[in-house]
Structure 1
Amino acid sequence: MRTEHARLNHVNWVRLVRGNPYERPESRTLATLHGLNDEEREAYNDRRADWHANFGVIKTPQLVRAHSQLGEIVAANQHVGDRVRGAAVVDAPPGLGKTTIANSYAFRYWAKEMRRGLPDDTRFDRIPVIKVGLKANVTTKWLTERMCKFMGLPTTGTETALHDRLLDATVGCETRLIVIDEIQFLNFAGKEGRKIHNHIKFLANELPATFLFVGHSIRATTARSNAAIQDAARDQTDSRWTYVDVHPFQVGTEEGRQAWRSFLLTVESKLVLASLKPGMLADGLADYVYARTLGRMQHITSLIVRGCVRAIDSGEEQLTRDLLDNIKLEKLVDDGRISRVAGADRGVYDLASHKPRNLPRTTPRAPRATANVAGGTTPATKLTPPARPKPVRKSGPESKRPGSKAR
């Protein structure tokens, strides 16, 4: 049964922490699949569709590296006293899985904290994590209200009352991590920008937790706001925020290609298709998938999951080049994909730099013309026709043109 979308709060967050609610369907051969009646086949295909769309987070090198850095920052902030706590910022372009990285770390952190001294994670007297997603035109009160709502606190009263309520709850519930997603919506420019900037500093100072900001182009946003934010305030933020960068898969080195192949093998192991062959993606379609998706996690997932839907509906039960050619992806990677894939096939598209490769000339140059010199053949840079002799002007009566009159 599909789960319905629910408002994000600490109760529903626990359901996410517990993991994927969908069980992996049993594998079937083509013969047993064809032996199902229409109703049984439809139910089986629905279970496979749910599984493929929710088969879980894969531990990519990017995720492992980011989790390690986040763990260092959070662990270093577990101190008492008035020492400033640093904030973590996962800053990456869209489509690289930064929200997945932040959420998966927060899930793991929640589970670890709930195991520490508590026998049952259904007790809600401990709320280790707060998660808030931002929108445009955020105000200071709205941000505090969203944190209170996540914890199940009343949101009535003045902004000061909300602050006090939130502070008491985070201390009492041992909240140690606050995740704020889509932080690029915060506009630090102008009067309101300074206000929200100072409010975030206030919360970071008052709440005994590490802030984890997630978004894209955050460095550029803060850089553009230098005319609106006082230098001292901006420097203070830069002194507290540690950036955790996320990059696409890189295949320019042998290590990168091995990591890419290992990732595709892991994806293959998650798929439930009747005609699945080992190496279907990792050996036969590695360069193709990279050229289609630019190595970006969001688009890789779109290509594979949508491909599985088509493979099941068509009865092909495997991912092939022809099948994936008909899958539309997000505009960012779909534009120019035909030339990228064709270039990768011919070896003139560099998968590492996403640019045409400067290949050496493969066709021989036309042979230069030669001229005979003293019985031999010597290359000549240029063949020139023989010079035309200049006419010799004669003097006297015979040099006059016919019919010309003598002077």
Structure 2
Amino acid sequence: MTTRWAAWLADNAQTRHNLATKQGWDAFVHAAPRTPLERLDRAQLAALSAEELEDYNDARAIWNANPPTVATAQLTRAYGIVDQVMASNHRDGDKLRGAVVIDAAPALGKTTIATRYARDFHRKTIRRHGNRTPDGHQRLPVAYVPLSAGTTLKDLNLKLLRFYGHPAATRATRGQLGALAVDCVASCQTRIIVIDDLHFIDFKHRNGHEVSNHLKGLANEMPVTFVYVGVRLREKKFFDEGLLGPDTAYAQTSRRSTRCEIAPFTIISTAGARAWTALLAALEAHLLLADPRPGMLTDHARALHRRTQGCIGSLTNLLDRACYLAIATGAETITADLIDQVTTDNAAHTIAGTA
């Protein structure tokens, strides 16, 4: 039997956008928000058939696991830094633009910040200028390129060309790849290129030196702003281009790029505790449980911070699992005991255990 919740699941299923292709990125940019899901109380849950309850709980699992992006202090600050750097995006094509480096420890929302900013920029540009360039090419204001372990100069060019779907990506010589990438960027009037997972590059290795130099070369030839995203890039010597000692003063990357650090939430100060509580309140309002109550997250702000160390990635993992337990056990709300039952990710568990 097809239930109304099965119909909701069909229309609001988990998305699997491949942001590394222009089709996937375009789908992500223009994806409509999920249809709001009805909240049922205990009496209404009890009135459902077994199949209806199964479908409704599956729908709730998708809803609870996909909260909206919250405008945290970290996100607002990061947007402000990117906006400042983007001021140079208005320079004429023969002038160099600056770059942004979103740099932090894992699970602090770096990729979310980069992709949401880029999505907003993409939408604004298409609204103003349309889907086609004056020469009739598809307008792609943003290109998104995630790197992988051991990425070489050739790999970087291939990934960029594959984003655009260039037919010669697999046939061109190494020397041709860079020129083709520059042509794609110019033809599609791309203005932001997001390079994600840059920490996979070892900048002290020969391949890392080549990639670093190539990125500088692309910045010289492409009228775009690069947004680099990675884990602990300063420690990995990205800004120093792998140079040591006095030679680091000659690293162009350090002058051309602006570091945007993302910090975990802290509750030591009054302002920090207020920001953490505001985040929990926003997430609390999103959750679909039969017995929700004001404060079911904010009342446990300290416990949630202790278990996640203020890392938003660990927090969302914990809340996904807490909602699962609340539904599976019939508690239908989040309590201190239920929070203690949640198995957190390894990093959060290890650090909390030593605190």
Q: What secondary structure, in the 3-state scheme, does the structure 2 residue paired with 1:219 have?
A: coil
Structure 2 counterpart of 1:255, one-letter code: A
Q: What secondary structure, in the 3-state scheme, does the structure 2 residue paired with 1:221 have?
A: coil
CA distance in 1, matches of 2:223, 2:125: 15
Partner of residue 138, structure 1: 151
CA distance in 2, matches of 1:115, 1:6: 22
Listed as ranges, the matches of 1:280-319 within 5 Å are 280-282=296-298, 284-319=299-334
Listed as ranges, the matches of 1:22-37 within 5 Å are 22-37=34-49
Higher relative contact order (CA 8 A, sep 6+): 2
CA distance in 1, matches of 2:325, 2:205: 50
CA distance in 1, matches of 2:34, 2:278: 24
1:53 aligns with 2:41: no
Structure 1 counterpart of 2:22, one-letter code: H
Structure 2 counterpart of 1:57, one-letter code: T
Task: Tell me if structure 1 keeps the 8 A contact 2:209–2:242.
Answer: no
- TM-score, scaled to structure 2: 0.89
Structure 1 counterpart of 2:16, one-letter code: H
CA distance in 1, matches of 2:194, 2:40: 41
- TM-score, scaled to structure 1: 0.78
1:303-354 CA-to-partner distances (Å, cap 9, x unmatched) read: 11111011111111111111111111112110253574xxxxxxxxxxxxxx
- Offset at residue 232 of structure 1 (A): 6.4
Structure 1 counterpart of 2:61, one-letter code: A
Gaps of 5+ in 1: 341-407
Partner of residue 344, structure 1: none
Q: What secondary structure, in the 3-state scheme, does the structure 2 residue paired with 1:315 have?
A: coil
What value does the CA root-mean-square deviation take over the aligned residues?
A: 2.2
Q: What secondary structure, in the 3-state scheme, does the structure 1 residue paired with 2:118 have?
A: helix
Task: Tell me if structure 1 keeps the 8 A contact 2:14–2:62.
Answer: no
1:147 aligns with 2:164: no
- Offset at residue 224 of structure 1 (A): 8.7
1:112–1:319 CA distance, 2 compared to 1 (3 A): same
- Offset at residue 252 of structure 1 (A): 1.9
Return the match for 2:112 from 97, 100, 104: 100
Task: Tell me if structure 2 keeps the 8 A contact 1:128–1:176.
Answer: yes
Return the match for 2:259 from 229, 235, 243: 243
1:113–1:81 CA distance, 2 compared to 1 (3 A): closer
- Offset at residue 230 of structure 1 (A): 5.6
Comparing both structures, which one devotes a greater share of its residues to helix? 2
Partner of residue 3, structure 2: none
Structure 1 counterpart of 2:140, one-letter code: I
1:204–1:288 CA distance, 2 compared to 1 (3 A): same
CA distance in 2, matches of 1:107, 1:272: 27
Partner of residue 179, structure 2: 164
1:333 aligns with 2:345: no
Structure 2 counterpart of 1:33, one-letter code: L
Task: Tell me if structure 2 keeps the 8 A contact 1:265–1:281.
Answer: yes
1:35–1:338 CA distance, 2 compared to 1 (3 A): farther
Deviates more, 1:258-267 or 1:220-229: 220-229
Q: What secondary structure, in the 3-state scheme, does the structure 2 residue paired with 1:179 have?
A: strand
Task: Tell me if structure 1 keeps the 8 A contact 2:131–2:138.
Answer: no
Task: Compare CA radii of gyration and give the structure with the larger one.
Answer: 1
Return the match for 1:268 from 272, 275, 284: 284
1:207-263 CA-to-partner distances (Å, cap 9, x unmatched) read: 1110110011111111592249964652x1110110001001122222222211111
CA distance in 2, matches of 1:336, 1:65: 27
1:68 aligns with 2:80: yes
Structure 2 counterpart of 1:249, one-letter code: F
1:345-387 CA-to-partner distances (Å, cap 9, x unmatched) read: xxxxxxxxxxxxxxxxxxxxxxxxxxxxxxxxxxxxxxxxxxx
1:170–1:65 CA distance, 2 compared to 1 (3 A): same
Aligned residues: 336
- Offset at residue 117 of structure 1 (A): 2.5
- Offset at residue 158 of structure 1 (A): 1.3
Task: Tell me if structure 2 keeps the 8 A contact 1:181–1:214.
Answer: yes
CA distance in 2, matches of 1:84, 1:298: 35
CA distance in 2, matches of 1:315, 1:146: 47
Partner of residue 214, structure 2: 199
CA distance in 1, matches of 2:49, 2:148: 48
CA distance in 1, matches of 2:38, 2:66: 16
Task: Tell me if structure 2 keeps the 8 A contact 1:91–1:246.
Answer: yes
Task: Tell me if structure 1 keeps the 8 A contact 2:141–2:188.
Answer: yes
CA distance in 2, matches of 1:28, 1:138: 49
CA distance in 2, matches of 1:114, 1:64: 23
Partner of residue 142, structure 2: 129
1:176 aligns with 2:191: yes
CA distance in 2, matches of 1:188, 1:76: 26
- Offset at residue 69 of structure 1 (A): 1.0
Q: What secondary structure, in the 3-state scheme, does the structure 1 residue paired with 2:90 have?
A: coil
Identity %: 35
